[in-house]
Amino acid sequence: MRRVAVDFLWPGMKVGRSVYDSRGRLLVAAGTVLSRGYIRRLKAHSVPAVYIDDGLLPDVCVEDVTSDDVRVQAMKQVRL
């Protein structure tokens, strides 16, 4: 899995980690194969980069400091 800037995404890439907007809503789920529509949506929400599961770096495991649930709750609190 590797992090790829949204400007360098192309249709057919597989999302390695779920992507959320600033309100904590799911934009693209992990395992989703990107289409042009998904890429446009990511750009519209100003998502800077996405983790892609492409098999190029199979031994690299990106550890999260926080869980997705904690991250979503934090984003919701910051918006208040």
Give the DSSP per-residue string, 20-74: E-TTS-EEE-TTPBP-HHHHHHHHHTT--EEEE--SSSTT-----SS-HHHHHHH
pLDDT tens, 60-74? 666 666 776 776 776
Judged by DSSP in three states, 18 sits in: coil
Whether this prediction's pTM lies above 0.75 is answered by no
Question: What does the pLDDT look like over 18-77, one tens digit per residue?
Answer: 998 878 889 999 999 999 999 999 999 999 999 998 877 666 666 666 776 776 776 666
CATH of the domain at 63: 3.90.105.10
CA 38/CA 27 separation, integer angstroms: 8
Residue range of the domain that includes 26: 2-79
Note whether 78 and 20 are within 8 A (CB): no
- Whole-number Å distance between alpha carbons of 73 and 15: 22
Q: How many domains does the chain have?
A: 1
